[in-house]
Amino acid sequence: MGSLDADGQPLDRRLAILDDAAESLARVHGSGKQAELPKVFEALRWVLSCPGGVPAVRTRADRLETAGLFLGTDWARPDILVPALSASSLRGDNADTAVLEVVSDLRLLAVATGERTHPLVTAEQARDHLSLVLAANLRMLFMPPNEAERTLQGATPRMARDLLRHIVEEIGYNSVLENLVDEIWRILHQRPIQVDEIKQMITQIAVARSNPDIDLGVSALGADRLISSLYGASDGSREDPGVEVYRARLDTMDDGALRFEATGFARSMHDTGLVSPYHVVLLRFLLAKEDYLISEALGLSSTGIECLLRYHDLVRALIDEAVHIETAQCIYGLALLLERGILHQPPVAPAMWRALSTRPSEYSRERLKLVFGPTPHPRARLLSGVLCVLGQPLGVGQGDNPTCQAARALSMWSSNDPDYLLQTVVWTARDDEIIMHFEGQPISSRDSVSGVATHLPMDLDPVSLLVVPHLDRIYAEMGRRCAGREGDPHRWVNPEFHGWWSGRGFHINVDVATGKLIDLTDFLRDFYASYHPFHNGNLPLIHPQPAGIAVTDSAARFIGWHAITVLRVTLDPEGVMRVYFYNPNNDSGQDWGYGVVVGTAGHGERFGEASLPFEQFASRLYIFHSDPLEPGNPGSVDDEELRRVMEHIRASWGADRMPAH
């Protein structure tokens, strides 16, 4: 008799039910398939919950696909699936979505091992995809389900873990960890503020590294480099002795040895963007030493050293208050803040002193403790976030929330108006309210009842966690006050919401009422004349400018509208004119289809910047601002170049938006 499931039914009996359901699905056509799908999903859940169910479904994946299991879903196109999204599919509360992900991965496993072929993916592509799926779910692969998973998701975590174990048995750990290491470096090059998940992945890599049965192969060197950045960046911490032992070692070191420790941590921090907990122990120890050792530990250049020496009391107070084991990452933020030299701006240092003395409200304290825990105390947690946001303006992320406008505002203020950013933090943390003005009239975040987000965001840095809900409500209220006006409300909202430097010239190529493209040629000519150095008199972009893009997936299908910031336009090292921009969506490296692949490194990008060749960027742009007093030369733009841009639009998000001829 076959294996039994939780109901006592043998696996072969469940497989017979699944086969019958799949045959029924295959027999019907059109809308009739929707009526049959629930039976197939139910049978699949029963089979996958049994021991041996995963390999049994693997042998049927081809038949299920042919029957129409994936029709009308993203899984129908395995060539455009994003491996990172498998985590939310497998861990989410939708059991049918989890089943689709499992069957799809089993289908690709059959392709990767040569059991079958697929018209849309090769064996190599299937193997690479599965390696990244395993990488995205490494914690699930190594760790047992927690109580929340067991309670809320029932058998889904077990089914997902059975899938992952089955895949890794077939393709091994080597390619998984190699891809994971590459993926971590790709993300780190963008220098995000939030790196807790990355640190957890590195910890899991360290666990795998210590297992003699797992051969990391060529990925071993890169893995060791990541592991050492957290657990052995200096001679004194080389064997990961524990923070108490390391602190005791510091007492025995002279200034020369301390300097050697400091330079080791600083080099690792600036190389990876990650901060070791041992770095915290050293930096707090150095508060009793000379400033030059602190500057070595922060890895400062002459600019940062000058800022440290001028404001050494403030810097020491910030270290004492904000730098703890749990907030180690803010050391990198502090170093970059000093490198920016923004403390020399007259309002910033006094505003930082005020932030040090600000007592968060009870509501703010509870929000911070709910997300980050009680240690360190909420004010220290908030200050650590302030250091990160001011040091890494392009590292601010929106999390899994529709709040790109608010994230963009925080990034823009950090870059351009840091004292105003500090003001909004104090208003929020102390008063639980922000008041902004729209066309002379005050708007209170407390009185504005709703924003774009339908729930309070939780997956944000400490500053964004408190400030974004207020900004989101104000942004939505500004939009409501534009109701009834002709055209897109961003024309009026963006300059009032983001700041005076947002250009008052407003350009849009989509008719708000119909969604159809309008005035496309003039729109593109104006964009070239405003931003392209060859057509605007070689004027550089002075202030970051808000813009809106039409986001597409790797099949060039329209996904939605998205807020970004244009940072600069210049020739890249290979002589290609590129637009460098800030994208708040946490990972800027994306394939937008039709050959449009966003770059984050290798094309002259600075940390945190995304980039595209000018033509490709223009093909995804739908809103931009400009200075109407500096119109450039629209007539100098080449017609052939405009034709290529419009072809990109027509082949992607504009396919059904082009006006009829």
Banded pLDDT at 10 (limits 50, 70, 90): confident
Whether 468 and 407 have beta carbons less than 8 Å apart is answered as yes
Whether 613 and 576 have beta carbons less than 8 Å apart is answered as yes
Cβ neighbours, 10 Å, residue 98: 26
To the nearest 10 degrees (0 to 180), the angle between helices 32-48 and 156-171 is 80
369 CB contacts (<8 Å, ≥6 apart)? 378
pLDDT of 232 over the 50 cut: yes
Q: In terms of pLDDT, which residue wins out, 51 or 464?
A: 464
Whether 433 and 231 have beta carbons less than 8 Å apart is answered as no
Banded pLDDT at 219 (limits 50, 70, 90): low
pLDDT attached to residue 375? 95
Cis bond upstream, residue 376 (ω within 30) = yes
Task: Look up residue 518 and give its two tokens.
Answer: 């309008």
Strands (E), 386-478: 435-438, 441-444
Scanning the structure block, which residue is given the tokens 């109407």?
628
Q: Where do the domains of the chain lie?
A: 11-171, 179-231, 232-342, 345-481, 505-650
Whether 299 and 267 have beta carbons less than 8 Å apart is answered as yes
Sign of the torsion angle spanned by Cα atoms 171, 176, 182, 186? positive
* Lowest-confidence pick of 332-341, 553-562, 630-639: 553-562
Closest CA to 558 of 627, 486, 622: 622
Scanning the structure block, which residue is given the tokens 């009026």?
492
Mean pLDDT across the stretch 527-538?
Answer: 96
Banded pLDDT at 306 (limits 50, 70, 90): very high
pLDDT of 516 over the 80 cut: yes
pLDDT attached to residue 633? 93
Q: Where are the alpha helices (DSSP H) in 417-567?
A: 418-426, 462-480, 490-498, 520-531
Sequential DSSP letters for 366-378: HHHHHHH-SSS-H
Cβ neighbours, 10 Å, residue 182: 15
Scanning the structure block, which residue is given the tokens 């994946």?
61
Sheet with 577-582, edge to edge strand ranges: 505-508, 621-626, 545-552, 558-571, 577-582, 610-613
Partners of residue 438 on adjacent β-strands: 441
pLDDT of 217 over the 80 cut: no
H or E, element range at 609? none
Sequential DSSP letters for 133-162: HHHHTHHHHHS---HHHHHHHTTHHHHHHH
pLDDT attached to residue 195? 94
> Using one digit for the tens of pLDDT, what is the confidence trace for 383-429?
999 999 999 999 999 988 889 999 999 999 999 999 999 999 999 99
Whether 391 and 335 have beta carbons less than 8 Å apart is answered as yes
* Lowest-confidence pick of 127-136, 247-256, 541-550: 127-136
Whether 512 and 534 have beta carbons less than 8 Å apart is answered as no
* Residue % of the chain over a pLDDT of 70: 95
Residue 127 CA to chain centroid, in angstroms?
24
Average pLDDT, the chain: 91
Task: Look up residue 474 and give its two tokens.
Answer: 């104000």
> Using one digit for the tens of pLDDT, what is the confidence trace for 68-115?
999 989 899 999 898 888 888 887 778 899 999 999 999 999 999 999
H or E, element range at 228? helix 220-231
Closest CA to 500 of 542, 470, 468: 542
pLDDT attached to residue 3? 46
CA 330, 184, 336: angle at the middle one, nearest 5? Answer: 25
Cβ neighbours, 10 Å, residue 63: 15
Banded pLDDT at 451 (limits 50, 70, 90): confident
Banded pLDDT at 152 (limits 50, 70, 90): very low
Strands 610-613 and 558-571: unpaired
Say how many Å lie between the first and final Cα of the chain, rounded.
Answer: 68
pLDDT attached to residue 6? 43
pLDDT attached to residue 155? 58
What is each CA distance from 332 to 190, 298, 305, 388, 459, in whole angstroms? 14, 7, 15, 7, 20
Q: Cα–Cα distance between 578 and 558 in angstroms, integer?
A: 23
Mean pLDDT across the stretch 37-51?
Answer: 91
pLDDT of 261 over the 90 cut: yes
Closest CA to 453 of 437, 470, 472, 430: 472
pLDDT attached to residue 562? 93
pLDDT of 147 over the 50 cut: no
Banded pLDDT at 151 (limits 50, 70, 90): very low
pLDDT attached to residue 9? 64
What is each CA distance from 255 to 251, 258, 259, 296, 325, in whole angstroms? 11, 5, 6, 12, 23
Q: Cα–Cα distance between 504 and 506 in angstroms, integer?
A: 6
Mapping DSSP to helix (H, G, I), strand (E, B) and coil, where does residue 579 land?
A: strand
Q: Cα–Cα distance between 98 and 96 in angstroms, integer?
A: 5
Cβ neighbours, 10 Å, residue 322: 25
